[in-house]
Structure formats: C-alpha cells, structure tokens
C-alpha cells in the first residue's frame, strides 16, 4: 500500500475541497474527506488507476448526504451585499435531480471543473456532460423560480 500513501495527501485534499463546497462546515468536510479516503484505501487495488475521480465522486455523494440529513447551522450569519441562495435550498434542489444530472452540476459548478474534466470524472463524453448539465439546470431553474418568485404559484 506504499502507492496509496504516495497519493494520500492529494486524495484527501481533493475530497476535502469537494466536501467543503457542498457542506460549508470545515469539521463536516474533514469527516467526509476522511471517510472517502478510507473507502478508497479499502478498495485501492480496484480504483488505483482512477483514484482521484473515484474519491472526489464519493466525497460529493457523502457531502450531499450530510446536507440532506442534518443541516449545518452557521455560527454567525455572514452579511452579503446581494441575496444569495441558501446552501440547504440548493442541496435540496440538487437532491431532486437524477444522479447523473446532479453529479454533472456539482462537478461543473461547485467544484469548478470544465466539461472535459467533468466528463473524465463521470466516465462519459463531453456531449453527455453538456446534456446532463443543461437538463439539470433547467429543472433547478423551474423549481427555484416557482419556489422563490413572489406571486408565482407552484404547479
């Protein structure tokens, strides 16, 4: 497992960054990253060739589970100049999407990956990523508009 040890820091950091973007809480992000890397260790022989993609994907799924199960309250509200979407609302909207659409949006927009990187992470073509992202964003926009625009009733 010396090879795993050589990649540990890189795997952990990638998992932590993915979790931090979704969960927002440092401690929960550390827990998610640790769990993702521990799962990688137990499967190292099977995932070694695509370990970074695998660990990041596991971290994203675990982080979404954390947000769905237990909202993490902010200790002090952060003042912002413009209104922003609440992390919990966004996570709920992402949870409504089919798995592939959700993953494509998380990799593209929450993890700031381009379409090529996202395609590699998901094991699909760039065109498929584009399709998943467009369809997923369209669904999120419909729900967000209906849920947050005054005077617009839900269908």
pLDDT in tens, 59-98: 998 988 887 776 545 445 555 434 345 667 777 788 888 8
Supply 93's token pair: 């909207």
Q: What is the pLDDT of residue 110?
A: 81
pLDDT at 33 over 90: yes
**Global pTM?**
0.60
CATH topology for the 80-155 domain = Arc Repressor Mutant, subunit A (1.10.10)
Instruction: Count other C-beta atoms under 10 Å from residue 76's C-beta.
Output: 5
Q: What is the pLDDT of residue 69?
A: 77
Could you report the per-residue pLDDT of 101-117, keeping only the tens digit for each? 988 888 888 888 888 88
The domain spans of the chain are 1-72, 80-155
Architecture of the domain made up of 1-72: Orthogonal Bundle (1.10)
- Range with top average pLDDT, 97-111, 121-135, 139-153: 121-135
For residue 85, give every residue at least 6 positions away whose Cβ sits within 8 Å of its Cβ, in sequence order, or none: 144
Residues for the chain: how many in total?
155
pLDDT at 147 over 60: no
Task: State the Cα–Cα distance between residues 92 and 90, nearest whole angstrom.
Answer: 5
Region 14-19: mean pLDDT is 91
User: Same CATH fold, 80-155 and 1-72?
Assistant: no
């Amino acid at each position: 497992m010396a090879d795993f040890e050589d990649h540990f820091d890189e795997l952990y950091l990638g998992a932590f960054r993915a979790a931090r973007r979704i969960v927002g809480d440092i401690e929960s992000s550390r827990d998610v990253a640790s769990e993702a890397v521990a799962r990688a260790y137990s499967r190292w022989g099977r995932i070694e060739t695509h370990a970074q993609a695998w660990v990041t994907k596991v971290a994203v799924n675990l982080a979404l589970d954390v947000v769905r199960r237990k909202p993490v309250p902010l200790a002090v509200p952060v003042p912002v100049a413009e209104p922003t979407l609440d992390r919990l609302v966004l996570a709920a909207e992402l949870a409504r999407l089919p798995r592939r659409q959700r993953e494509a949006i998380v990799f593209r927009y929450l993890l700031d990956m381009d379409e090529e990187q996202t395609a590699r992470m998901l094991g699909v073509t760039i065109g498929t990523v584009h399709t998943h992202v467009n369809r997923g964003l369209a669904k999120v926009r419909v729900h967000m508009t209906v849920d947050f625009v005054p005077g617009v009733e839900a269908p």
